[in-house]
Structure formats: structure tokens, C-alpha cells
């Protein structure tokens, strides 16, 4: 199975606890800017993703904190 760019990027961020925590805190306050930051991190890593791809991928993650953030992100977009 081929790994999507969004999955690669998610795993990269998940491995960096400081980056993950920073994004999570940003998402709680400003979900839209967190999505933009995720896409920016992707560009820096040469992993191209769109906000829509990020939201779609996150909706497949079985993690309560991610789901809570995603609900907030959808409301803020």
C-alpha cells in the first residue's frame, strides 16, 4: 500500500513531540492557522499537502484528541 503525503507528514509531525504539542495548542486557539502551519511544514519537508487532504486524513485517525481538534477545525474553517 502506498503511503499518502498526508500520512507521511502526519507521522513526521507525530514523531516530534514539541512540534505536535505546538500544533495541537495552535489548533485549539486557531484551527485554521494550524491547518496552514501543517501545510507549511509539508512544504518545508517537500511533502505537498492541501488543507482538504489534511482534514480528510485526520478524520480517519482513531484518536479522541485528534477528533476533538478536527471538530473544532471544521467549525473554524
> Are residues 51 and 44 in contact, defined by beta-carbon separation less than 8 angstroms?
no
pLDDT at 74 over 70: no
pLDDT at 77 over 50: no
Quote the radius of gyration of the chain (alpha carbons, Å): 11
User: Looking at residues 2-22, what average pLDDT do you find?
Assistant: 89
Kindly report which listed range (3-12, 16-25, 60-69) carries the lowest average pLDDT score: 60-69
* Secondary element (H or E) of residue 77: none
Domain ranges of the chain: 5-9+19-76
The values of phi and psi at residue 72, to 5°, are -65, -40
What pLDDT, on a 0 to 100 scale, did the predictor assign at position 73?
66
**Cell numbers that stand for 49 in this block:** 499537502
- CA–CA separation, 3 and 57 (whole Å): 12
- CA–CA separation, 29 and 73 (whole Å): 10
- pLDDT-derived band at 20, boundaries 50, 70, 90: confident
| Unique residue bearing C-alpha cell 503511503 | 3
Model pLDDT for residues 23-71, shown as the tens digit of each residue: 888 888 888 898 899 999 999 999 999 999 988 888 888 778 777 767 7
Amino acid at each position: 500500500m502506498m503511503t499518502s503525503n498526508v500520512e507521511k507528514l502526519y507521522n513526521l509531525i507525530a514523531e516530534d513531540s514539541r512540534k505536535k504539542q505546538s500544533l495541537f495548542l495552535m489548533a485549539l486557539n486557531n484551527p485554521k492557522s494550524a491547518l496552514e502551519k501543517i501545510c507549511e511544514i509539508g512544504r518545508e519537508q517537500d511533502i505537498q499537502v492541501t488543507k482538504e487532504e489534511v482534514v480528510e486524513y485526520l478524520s480517519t485517525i482513531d484518536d479522541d484528541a485528534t477528533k476533538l481538534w478536527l471538530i473544532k477545525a471544521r467549525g473554524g474553517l
